[in-house]
Amino acid sequence: FQQWYSSSMKVICMWLADRLDLQLHIYQLKTLIKIVKKTYRDFRLQGVLEGTLNSKTYDTIHSRLTVEEATVSVTDAGGLQGITMKDSDE
C-alpha cells in the first residue's frame, strides 16, 4: 500500500509540475482535490504510516492545490462549491 500511495502521489505531483506556469481550470482543481483527499484518507485507513502519507510529494501537492483554491476563491465567487483542501476534521 505504501508503494501504491507513493506512486499515485508522484504521478499527480509530476502532472502538476508539468503545468506549473498554468492556472488549473476549476474542474481540474475540484477533481484533483477530491482525488487527493480520498486517496489520503483511504490509504490512512489501510494503515499506511504517517511518514509516508505526509511526504514531501504530498506537501507539494497540498501547497499547490491550496494556492489554486485561494486563487479561485478570489476570482470566482462560487466556483468550488464547498470543495476545499481543508480537512473536515480541522
- Rounded mean pLDDT of the chain? 87
E runs forming strands in 15-63 = none
Residue 10 lies in a domain: yes
Residue 85 lies in a domain: no
Concatenated DSSP letters for the chain? Answer: -HHHHHHHHHHHHHHHHHTTTSPPPHHHHHHHHHHHHHHHHHHHHTT--HHHHT-HHHHHHHHHHHHHHHHHHHHSTTSSTT--SS-TT-
Whole-number percent of the chain with pLDDT over 90: 63
Domain total of the chain: 1
Could you tell me the pTM of the whole model? 0.83
Residue 89 lies in a domain: no
| Residue 70 pLDDT | 86
- The parent domain of residue 37 ranges over 1-75
Residue 61 lies in a domain: yes
| Residue 90 pLDDT | 42
The grid coordinates listed for 24 are: 488549473
pLDDT tens, position by position, 57-84: 999 999 999 999 888 877 766 666 667 7
